[in-house]
Amino acid sequence: MDRIRIVGGNELHGVIPISGAKNAALPLMIASLLTDDTLTLENVPHLADVEQLIRILGNHGADISVNGRRERQGESYARTIHFTSRNIVSTTAPYELVSKMRASFWVIGPLLAREGKARVSLPGGCAIGTRPVDLFIDGLTALGANIEIDGGYVNATAPAGGLVGGRYVFPKISVGATHVLMMAATLANGTTVLGNAAREPEVVDLAKCLNAMGAKITGQGTSTITVEGVPSLSGARHRVLPDRIETGTYAMAVAMTGGDVILEDTDASLLETALEAIRRTGAEISETNSGIRIVRNGAGIKPVDIVTDPFPGFPTDLQAQFMGLMTKSSGVSHITETIFENRFMHVQELARLGAKISLSGQTAKVEGVSRLKGAPVMATDLRASVSLVIAGLAAEGETMVSRVYHLDRGFERLEEKLTRCGAHVERVSD
Ligand code: EPZ
């Protein structure tokens, strides 16, 4: 199994191209199931999660080609992928596929809307929390679906004439349930109003693509989304928006190691809260024509408290990385996680590098130390693992990060991007 070897101590200088967002690409790919026409997505990142979803969509009958070639032959960066689901050959998403990636549960929306039925395995527990599916079930029920859970599967059926527009106010903000209800409502009879909807940029990107396919969605980016159902959707061409989590991760890496880096092909407006927190640590951040420049020269890292929140708050997907940065601050900071109940697994691994962190409920108290020292560490989830990479870049000596497959799920060409900026990072295959 691959590991990542880091020799810390170098500043980062150069340009890092930011990839298309994983968490936008996944729902966009799933949206292709809503039409028998071709959906072409540009700027799709080359990641293990994308490859897994390609397999899942293929199981439902999607014909998929990469850059005009067949799936698996295309190895290029920022790929263009064509998805054509002329016929849905199966409305079942089996446990073996869904258990590997939670987002694959989201096929329930398009399958139910287009075919009138779906049988999708429950995604099961996940390392960062229990992550139930009650909001999906209640929301789809509000659109007229009949849902039963049996043998670990969610069996959903639409009324004879198809889903019907309805009103659903999410009791809790959920990105995934907002994606699914928005997709399902596009083909429902009548108008759907979703209240307390997620406002994440990835939801806006999905709405933009669905509208290009002929949907009638308004209010995306606000808490109330209105979807006027249409009889069918067509194909479209859509460019996946930049990855705000990758952007924030590399910005935090520079804030931690020091240096001067331009993050290219990204957009500061996607992560204002996180950039503001990084600025308060002492780094300078400015917008360029095509992205963001981040500089930290000489000055130390100031302690900053953060609380994760749904967009536009501080993203939970950057919490671990920010904790990595705070381990070397000049004081005490508090990091509070409000989205997932168990998203602190990086704490014990950061401690192996010499970090001083104590946990009390959902808040971590981080006492900055003047130096971290490299050690073997283990990645426990995607964002936790990249926080270890960042900390390793700023630690003295060698850090070996194992279970790298977590990183491969969400960071495209991580070693290459960091190495080009002067870091010592290499993949070691055993
Ligand atoms: C998305 O997950 C992202 N995944 C996550 O990124 C991200 O951390 C999360 O949103 C929050 O921003 C993708 O986009 C593929 P939620 P999602 O539904 O949609 C609870 C990463 O590292 N909830 O917004 O699954 C849930 O347990 C991943 O890239 C219910 O209670 O998250 C959580 O506490 C990790 N019932 C909260 O809502 C439900 O039916 C928010 O989860 C659904 C969710």
Q: Please give the pLDDT value at position 324.
A: 98
Q: Summarize the confidence of residues 148-166 as an average pLDDT.
A: 95
pLDDT at residue 348 in the model: 95
Q: What's the confidence (pLDDT) of residue 73?
A: 43
Going from the Cα of 315 to the center of ligand 1, the distance in angstroms, rounded, reads 11
Tell me, what amino acid is at 298?
Answer: G
CA of 358 to the centre of ligand 1 (A): 25
pLDDT value, residue 283: 97
CATH number 3.40.50.2300 given to 25-239: no
Residue 81 CA to ligand 1 centre (angstroms): 25
Q: For the range 311-317, what are the long-range contacts, defined as Cβ-Cβ under 8 Å and sequence gap of 24 or more? A: 311/198, 311/199, 311/200, 311/201, 312/199, 312/272, 312/273, 313/273, 314/273, 314/274, 314/277, 315/244, 315/245, 315/248, 315/271, 315/273, 315/274, 316/340, 316/343, 317/23, 317/245, 317/383
257 Cα to the center of ligand 1, angstroms: 30
Provide the edge-to-edge strand list for the sheet that holds 191-195: 167-169, 191-195, 225-228, 216-218
- The helix/strand/coil state of 238 is strand
Give the mean pLDDT of the chain. 94
Q: Of 172, 179, 316, which is best to mutate to test ligand 1, by the most ligand atoms within 8 angstroms of its C-beta?
A: 172
Q: What is the mean pLDDT of residues 1-19?
A: 95
According to DSSP, the residues that pair with 14 across neighbouring strands are: 261
Residue with the smallest CA separation from ligand 1 atom 40 is: 133
Q: Does domain 2-17+242-429 have CATH number 3.65.10.10?
A: yes
Q: In the predicted model, what is the mean pLDDT of residues 219-236?
A: 98
Instruction: Encode pLDDT of 351-407 as tens digits.
Output: 999 999 999 999 999 999 999 999 999 978 899 999 999 999 999 999 999 988 889
**Residue with the larger pLDDT of the pair 124 and 47:** 47
CB 16 within 8 A of CB 423: no
Q: Which residues are catalytic?
A: 126
Kindly tell me if the per-residue pLDDT of 125 is higher than 50: no
- Of 12-16, 210-214, 295-299, 387-391, give the lowest mean pLDDT range: 295-299
Distance CA 145, CA 139 (A): 9
pTM of the predicted structure, to 2 decimals: 0.96
What tokens were used for 226?
């209105």
- Ligand 1, atom 4, lies closest to the CA of 23
Q: Note whether 38 and 54 are within 8 A (CB).
A: no
CA of residue 44 to ligand 1 center, whole Å: 21
Quick one: which atom of ligand 1 is closest to the CA of 382?
Answer: 22
Query: Residues near ligand 1 with C-beta < 6 Å?
Result: 23, 26, 102-103, 129, 131-136, 172, 174-177, 316-317, 339-340, 382-383, 410
Q: Whose CA is nearest to atom 35 of ligand 1?
A: 317
Query: Which is the closest atom of ligand 1 to the Cα of 131?
Result: 27
Instruction: Return the ligand 1 atom nearest residue 102 CA.
Output: 25
Q: Is residue 123 very low, low, confident or very high in pLDDT (cuts 50, 70, 90)?
A: confident
Strand partners for 401: 4, 377
- Ligand 1 atom closest to 176 (CA): 19
| Closest residue CA from atom 30 of ligand 1 | 132
Look at residue 341 in the predicted model and tell me its pLDDT: 85
Residue with CA nearest ligand 1 atom 1: 175
Cα torsion through 252, 411, 21, 257, rounded to 10: 10
Q: Which of 139, 134, 136, 132 is closest to 169 using CA atoms?
A: 139
Work out which ligand 1 atom sits closest to the CA atom of 341: 34
Given a cut of 80, is residue 126 above it in pLDDT? Answer: no
Residue nearest atom 19 of ligand 1, based on CA coordinates = 176
Paired strand residues for 400: 5, 376
Q: Is the pLDDT of residue 231 over 90?
A: yes
Higher-confidence residue of 132 and 112: namely 112
The average pLDDT across 223-235 equals 98
* pLDDT > 70: percent of the chain: 96
Residue with tokens 């994606």: 179
Residue 14 has pLDDT above 50, yes or no: yes
Q: Where in the chain is the domain with CATH 3.65.10.10?
A: 2-17+242-429, 25-239
- Structure confidence by residue, pLDDT tens digits, 297-325: 878 999 999 999 999 999 999 999 999 99
Which amino acid, one-letter code, is at 177? A
Residue 82 or 71, more confident: 82
How much is the pLDDT for 74?
43
Which residue type is seen at 142? A
Q: What is the pLDDT of residue 75?
A: 47
Which pLDDT value is given to residue 404?
87
